[in-house]
A and B are shown apart, each in its own frame.
Chain A
Amino acid sequence: MADLKIPVTTKDHLQGNENAPVIVVEYGDYECPHCGHAYPIVKQLQKHFGQQIGFVFRNFPLAELHPYAESAAEAAEFAAANDRFWEMHDSIYENQEVLSESLLLELAETLGLSAPALRESLNDSEFAPRVREDFLGGVRSGVNGTPTFYINGHRHDGPFEFESLAAAIDAQL
């Protein structure tokens, strides 16, 4: 079974308790329908486990399959630089079916971020290195599709449904 090779650090986007007994890491693609399916399940897990888990999201855009996955990932990193990562992350998944570059700009404005600044950032590929770093770290850790979850560093090879993920988390508590 594959293990997480890149430890969770303060560079990561972590939601919930950073000192929780269980850290869940997701490698995800904003345009991937399976990731879209997993999005509310993660919310459900967070509600169910509360302070017992911390959740980390890392970028794994499959850009050849999903034309907007890379810009969505870079837009979320742009939002992170402005302290709005999770708001952007959530908004993208909640609007996944109509994902486009103009949607990303719209979402930025809704979050009080500058759309022209985001456009410039995307044109300059400002956050492409960060996204690529996440991606390559995922490859090293044996990410084998999206989404791939790691529960306390161990790749979760079961289904990414609530019961299966909750059982894997419970096993670590």
Chain B
Amino acid sequence: MSQILQPGIQAPDFCLHVTPDQKLSLSELRGTPVILTFYPADWSPVCGDQMALYNEILSEFRKHGAELLGISVDGAWCHEAFAKDRHLHFPLLSDFEPKGEVAKQYGAYRSADGCCERALFVIDKRGVIFWSYCSPVAVNPGADGILQALEEMQK
């Protein structure tokens, strides 16, 4: 497992496709807490799927004013089909070209597999990493850590 960026570090900015014709930069969300979740791939088995789970918990994240962003190396068209199929109500970013470049900056790229780690980052309003966690790739980390971090951040 690679060493992911730790709390206290300024989250590296990025500008990635969020739909086939739109891009999103992390810096656009300055002033808002951001949950950045790197995951290996779209289309993993349905009921244990991490993005589908977070989708059900969105209202809890938003109670803390936080925006959720999913990010993988899948292309924007793939994300679009996946988001539509699973009724996802949050953006999926494509770390597609150059492949995995953003994931590498966050220490969340698995070179051997050519995909992202299951890595979570909670970023504060100033763009500083408040909490980060890297899960074994086969284990969906759930959302308890994210919610705890959001609560602590508000203290």
Chain A residues within 8 Å of B, Cβ to Cβ:
2, 5, 29, 32-35, 62-65, 135-136, 139-146, 157
Contacts of A34 in B (CB 8 A): 47-48
A-B contact pairs, 24 of them (CB 8 A): A2-B142, A5-B144, A29-B47, A34-B47, A62-B47, A62-B52, A62-B56, A64-B55, A64-B56, A64-B86, A64-B89, A65-B46, A65-B52, A65-B86, A65-B87, A136-B60, A139-B143, A139-B147, A142-B142, A142-B144, A143-B142, A144-B141, A144-B142, A146-B47
Instruction: Write the nearest CB–CB distance from A131 to chain B, whole angstroms.
Output: 12
Q: Is the CB of B147 within 8 A of A144?
A: no
| Dominant SS among interface residues on chain B | loop
In terms of DSSP, what is the predominant structure of the interface of chain A? Answer: loop
Q: What is the size, in residues, of chain B's interface with A at 8 Å between Cβ atoms?
A: 23
Q: How far is the CA of A33 from the CA of B52 in the complex (A)?
A: 15
Question: Interface residues, chain B, CB within 8 Å of chain A?
Answer: 46-50, 52-53, 55-57, 60, 86-89, 139-145, 147
Q: Is the CB of A145 within 8 A of B147?
A: no
> Hey, which chain B residues are within 8 Å of A62, CB to CB?
47, 52-53, 56
Nearest CB to that of A141 among chain B residues?
B144
